[in-house]
Copies of this chain bind each other. A is one copy, B any other.
Amino acid sequence: MAWTFSGNRPIFQQLKEIIILKIINSEYKTGDKLPPVRDIALEAGVNPNTVQRAMAEIEGEGIIYTKRGDGRYVSEDEDLISAVKSDCVNQMANDFVQSLKSLGLDSSQIKTTLEEILKTE
């Protein structure tokens, strides 16, 4: 996954999402040590403060933790991580359905729309 940012959304948020994604997808595995803030900052081409902020917020969600004087680690709690993933999936699906309903589509139209998209991929 590349460190690219969309410009119209806060970089720290996009960073958060990318890092969480790397954890969910086991690019950073359970119990792994994460790269130092400075390395990520360099690689992503952003200010270390921005990485710091993203990390702090992810830590707030419990899926990474800090060993003082050592570094940050991915939580060993695999259930937590898979819970984060399924929460994420469910919220996206709910938002998607909600949005299309507000545009006036019913369930079967929503299903058809999705199938159309999946076919073209």
Residues of A within 8 A of B (CB): 1, 7, 10-11, 21, 24-25, 65-66, 68, 85, 88-90, 92-94, 96-97, 99-100, 102-105, 107, 110-111, 113-118, 121
Contact = CB atoms under 8 A, between A and B. Distances in A.
A-B pairs, top 6 by smallest CB distance, nearest first, are A96-B96, A93-B117, A107-B118, A93-B113, A25-B104, A97-B117
Contacts of A116: 93
Number of copies: 4
Given A21-B102, A99-B92, A103-B88, A114 B117 contact: no
A105 B65 CA distance: 27
Contact of A10 (B21, B68, B110): B68
